[in-house]
Amino acid sequence: MKPSEFEEIVRQTLDDLPEDFKPLLENVVVLIEEEPDLADLDGVELQPDEELLGLYHGVSLLDRSASHTGLPDRVLIYRGPILRTCDTIAEIRQQIRETVIHEVGHHIGLDDDEMAY
């Protein structure tokens, strides 16, 4: 899959989020990176057969104080790991969707065990 096709799926996933969520993402940058760097991998617990598909960097909306004035939070989507874990275009689309929603959930303040899937 070409990087531009991958980017379009991420963009479409963001566009398809419910309108109520869009104001919550005003200070969030969604970036696509080919692979996670070592610092990102050090911050998460993965099983030997797992890949890091996405990552949220920032202070969740629930953890912010009223005086919070930081740089934009970042949602990172890792293209290489997603492509390696999926066999079909349909699986890639679904995994991108799940990863974007999962990382947006962290921005909102949800823990992994509170995610809907």
Q: For 31-87, how does the pLDDT look when each residue is reduced to its tens digit (9 = 90+)?
A: 999 999 888 888 787 777 889 999 988 876 666 655 556 678 889 999 999 999 999
User: What's the CATH code of the domain at 29?
Assistant: 3.30.2010.20
Positive or negative torsion for Cα 40, 22, 80, 93:
positive
> For the chain, first and last CA: distance in Å?
26
Where in the sequence is the domain holding 40, given as residue range(s)?
A: 3-114
Alpha helices in the chain (DSSP H): 3-15, 38-42, 79-85, 89-108
Q: How far is CA 73 from CA 12, 30, 35, 55, 99, in A?
A: 20, 9, 19, 11, 16
What pTM did the predictor assign?
A: 0.85
Structural domains of the chain, count: 1
